[in-house]
Amino acid sequence: MSKKILVVDDEPRIVEIVKAYLEKDGFKVVTAYNGRAALEAFRRESPDLVILDLMLPEISGWDVCRRICQESDTSVIMLTARDETTDKIVGLELGADDYITKPFDPKELVSRVKAVLRRAQGYKESSGRLNAAGLEIDTEKRRVTRQGQAIELTPLEFDLLKVMAKQPGRVFSRLQLLDKVQSDAYEGYDRTIDSHIKHLRKKIEPDPNRPHYILTVYGVGYKLEGEE
């Protein structure tokens, strides 16, 4: 079954180019030309991935991305003419999985789409299990093993790991992680996440000083990198 991609840009020519390249590779493509239509299409079509321009009429790409990531685990690739580092960081903080600036090579965009979908598929829950390069997470029994060896985690550590494992490669800010695990015990102080990540690394990483699973994205937060 072909994957469905929602392409959102207020420039019809760009939409048509991206649509043509994606369809050539076998993807089903849905399009929208403004933020309001994008959200309507997203909720109606339930796409597997969204390619989203930032500078949109009616509702900005920033707000569209934020709402998509609040409502689902759908992957988002930002497509925009703005290439400042701060814009990239904000896009990642909102939940985008990747960021491509205009002008762009349509073939590269298709490759990025495949890569993001491949990472996401590798971490989809199957019978209550998530797998990440030797790290196995049983979401029903709340049990984690690495290469067959059981790892004891606190409830909060398990929830943090589960959140990141569901969206491989996605960068989560500290506030996003705090919100995802719905921890009220820390009064919203996002830096407490750092200490829990530190303890989590000590338990799951072969070498906590050289993390393989949980990587720091400086200035943004953390991501789970599960490829060998």
Q: Which fold has domain 4-122?
A: Rossmann fold (3.40.50)
Residue of 34, 104, 46, 48 lying closest to 76 (CA atoms): 48
- Nearest Cα residue to 68 out of 101, 102, 40: 40
The confidence score (pLDDT) of residue 183 equals: 46
The per-residue pLDDT of the chain, averaged, comes to 83
The domain segmentation of the chain, as residue ranges, is: 4-122, 129-224
* Amino acid residing at 206: P
Is 90's pLDDT higher than 80? no
Residue ranges of alpha helices (H) inside 46-127 are 61-71, 85-94, 106-122
CATH architecture of 129-224: Orthogonal Bundle (1.10)
pLDDT in tens, 176-197: 887 777 544 444 445 678 888 9
Question: Which of 28-32, 110-114, 185-189 shows the lowest per-residue confidence on average (mean pLDDT)?
Answer: 185-189
Provide the pLDDT confidence category of residue 85 given band limits of 50, 70 and 90. low
